[in-house]
Chain A
Amino acid sequence: MQVSEPDTQLVARARRGEMEAFNQLISRWEKRLYHYLLGILRNREDSLDLCQETFLKAYRSLGSLQDAEKFSHWLFRIAHNLAFSQFRRNAGQGRTDSWPDEDQEDALMMRRDTAAFRTAGMYSGPEMELSVIQAMETLTPEQREAIVLKVYQGFQFAEIAEILSCPVSTVKSRIYSGFAQLKELLTTDRTTRTLPPNRW
């Protein structure tokens, strides 16, 4: 059985001009990167385009990578920056999936309460998955991105902070608030805790 070459060696080879080594890095990371972008952009075409752009940018600026051990963090950081730029462009074009400001929290709260959520115990399988996706969409993009990086990509808080270029405390805050919101929406006793008692 062939042992796969570590990222550090592939990065070193790619720096020496071996394009095939970088293609191996692409094969290793493209699916995870695509899912990360899909998780925050929620658009397949944009995710695919940005995924390709991320790898191109990474290849061109491979010389600026100081620590080859942190290739994955660096790659996701490039993707994050590109996604953020995409959000800003979309905001300029008036598209609805723009990165929200803090003052849009109220609008999100309204959307959260009117969303087609039901208690998680009533659903299973694909319906449950749809509920979770809808619940994730009620999060701010920052919360969603931090949770995607933590739960789906398996990064540590410190690594996420590095990717997002923010303090670890900010990462924790986003993840805590995001999970608090998801817990409220997805766990079984939500109805009894949130709905007014006289309504039933």
Chain B
Amino acid sequence: MNCEQTQPLLLDYLLEETSAEARQNIALHLETCSTCSEEVGRLRQTISLVAAAEPKEEIPQRFRLAPEPANWWTAFWHSTAQLSFATAGMACLAVVLLAVFQTHFSYEQGKFNLAFGTTPAIAQPEATLAIQSANGSGSLDRAAVLELIAQEVAASEARLKEETNISIQTASQRADQQRRSDLQEVAESLRYFQSTQTVMWKEQVQSQQVVSTWLQQAGMTSERP
């Protein structure tokens, strides 16, 4: 490389913006060229002076991002507790409204019916109800269905009565057993108390006899009977 080729690259050379090959060529040229070496020296001095004057002061204020307080709507949708409370409140309100407005629900032929106020007049089909019998042989008319319902209700009541009687008998037997057991326990306690009292009396009488004997031997009389 000659001086004309080298000099435009001297700053790039010092700022390390040249390729390795160009860097090597420039270094070789600088070894032999005093003019370019002198120019490199001045540029290097300039860069060093500028670099030495780099601001070193600490930043007067450190920055840090803090999360912004979310608005109430966002906070509401991110709060499980608030959502639960609101859901419960809405459910309560719905129940109250249903009660106040006497709402009637019904489901008929795949459709939900909703009515407020008086009981809705649901169109009763005049034809027989298409209820499949247990054996699936055919359809029953309304009277037959009512009779079946009555029979089923009677059977259910009978079962309930029977179960109630059994429960009462069982409870009565248990109460009787408990009472007997308690009486036996009381009798045992009384017997034990009586035997204990008897032993104590016997011991007391024996003690008094011994003391009386001692007093008589000593020529003294007992004031106690």
Residues of A within 8 A of B (CB): 19, 22-23, 26-27, 30-31, 34-35, 38-39, 44, 48, 51-52, 55-56, 59, 120, 128-129, 132-133, 136, 147, 150-152, 156-157, 172, 175-176, 179, 182-183, 186-187, 189
Which residues of B are found within 8 Å of A39, using beta-carbon distances? 55
Q: Is B15 part of the contact surface with A, judged by Cβ < 8 Å?
A: yes
In the complex, chain B residues 45-88 whose Cβ is within 8 Å of any chain A Cβ: 45-47, 49-55, 58-67
Return chain A residues, CB-CB under 8 Å to B60: 44, 48
Q: A39-B55, A175-B11, A182-B50 are in contact. Are A48 and B65 (CB under 8 A)?
A: no
User: Nearest A residue to B38 by beta-carbon distance?
Assistant: A189
Question: Which residues of A are found within 8 Å of B52, using beta-carbon distances?
Answer: 128-129, 132
Are A183 and B43 in touch, CB under 8 angstroms? yes
Closest Cβ neighbor of B17 among chain A residues: A157
Q: Determine if A176 and B11 form an interchain contact, defined as CB atoms under 8 angstroms apart.
A: yes
Q: Does B104 contact A (CB under 8 A)?
A: no
- Interface contact B45-A187, CB-CB below 8 Å: yes
Query: For window 1-54 of chain B, which residues contact chain A by CB distance below 8 Å?
Result: 11-12, 15, 17, 42-43, 45-47, 49-54
Query: Chain A residues with Cβ under 8 A from B47's Cβ?
Result: 151, 179
Taken together as a complex, chains A and B put the C-alpha atoms of A55 and B62 apart, in Å, by: 12
Please name the residue on chain A nearest to B60 by beta carbon: A48
Which of A19, A129, A187 contacts B46 (CB under 8 A)?
A187
On whether the beta carbons of A30 and B50 are closer than 8 Å, the reply is: no
B191 to chain A, nearest CB (A): 83
* 29 interchain pairs, CB-CB under 8 A: A19-B65, A19-B67, A22-B65, A27-B62, A30-B59, A30-B63, A35-B54, A44-B60, A51-B59, A51-B63, A52-B63, A55-B65, A120-B49, A128-B53, A132-B49, A132-B52, A132-B53, A133-B53, A136-B53, A151-B54, A152-B51, A175-B11, A179-B11, A182-B46, A183-B43, A183-B46, A187-B42, A187-B45, A187-B46
Total interface residues on B, CB under 8 Å, equals: 26
Whole-angstrom distance between the alpha carbons of A183 and B6 in the complex?
18
**Given B12, B45, B55, B59, which contacts A186 in the complex, CB threshold below 8 Å?**
B45
Q: Is the interface of B mostly helix, strand, loop or mixed?
A: loop
A129 to B56, CA, bound (A): 12
Q: How far is the CA of A197 from the CA of B3 in the complex (A)?
A: 28
Residues on the B chain within 8 Å of A22, using CB: 65
In the complex, residue of chain A having the shortest beta-carbon distance to the beta carbon of B50: A151
Q: A38-B55, A133-B53 in contact; A183/B63 too (CB < 8 A)?
A: no
> Are A30 and B62 interface neighbours, CB within 8 A?
yes
Q: Give chain A residues whose Cβ lies under 8 Å from the Cβ of B45.
A: 120, 186-187
Q: Identify which of A51, A129, A183 contacts B53 (C-beta below 8 A).
A: A129
Closest beta carbon of chain B to A158's beta carbon, Å? 9
Tell me how far the C-beta of B53 lies from the nearest C-beta in chain A, rounded to whole angstroms. 4
Interfacial chain B residues near A48, Cβ < 8 Å:
59-61
For residue B63, which residues in chain A have a CB less than 8 angstroms away from its CB? 26, 30, 51-52, 55
CB-defined contacts of B62 to chain A, threshold 8 Å: 27, 30
Q: Which residues of A contact B66 (CB under 8 A)?
A: 19
From B43, B49, B58, B64, contact of A23 by CB (8 A): B64
Nearest residue (CB) in B for A14 is B65
Q: Nearest B residue to A168 by beta-carbon distance?
A: B17
Known A44-B60, A48-B60, A179-B43: A136·B17 in contact at CB below 8 Å:
no
Give 15 new A-B contacts, CB below 8 A, not counting A38-B55, A55-B65, A179-B43.
Answer: A23-B64, A23-B65, A26-B65, A30-B59, A35-B54, A59-B65, A147-B50, A151-B47, A151-B50, A151-B51, A151-B54, A175-B15, A182-B50, A186-B49, A187-B46
